[in-house]
């Protein structure tokens, strides 16, 4: 039998964090607690801060391959990415 330890139980019972210290265990709660850091979830802002070319789905890329992702994805930053190559776009 496999036992699963929930993040909450790990933090507050196993690691013995004080209950007065709220540690968000998902992105939705993190945004609620830290509203002023919500920009960290916007991939366009992150790309711009690192001088990485980015754009919307209606922009034709200047080079390939590219990665297509949602701008903000609170269900998991690695969820549902796709990649495209230059032969994918026929004019």
Closest CA to 27 of 17, 48, 42: 42
Average pLDDT, the chain: 79
Q: What is the dihedral of CA 84, 86, 90, 91, to 10 degrees?
A: 120
Contact 64, 86 (CB under 8 A): yes
Chain segment 71-81, per-residue pLDDT in tens: 887 776 555 55
Q: Averaged over 56-84, what is the pLDDT?
A: 72
Tokens of 45: 């802002």
pLDDT computed for residue 91 by the predictor: 42
Give the residue ranges of DSSP H helices in 7-68: 7-9, 27-33, 43-49
Between 14 and 35, the higher pLDDT residue: 35
């Amino acid at each position: 039998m496999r036992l699963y330890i929930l993040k909450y139980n790990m933090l507050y019972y196993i690691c013995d964090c004080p209950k007065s210290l709220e540690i968000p265990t998902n992105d939705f709660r993190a945004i609620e607690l830290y509203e002023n850091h919500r920009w960290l979830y916007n991939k366009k802002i992150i790309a711009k801060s690192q001088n990485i070319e980015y754009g919307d789905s209606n922009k034709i890329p200047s080079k390939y391959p590219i990665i297509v992702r949602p701008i903000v994805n609170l269900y998991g930053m690695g969820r549902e990415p796709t990649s495209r190559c230059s032969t994918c776009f026929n004019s």
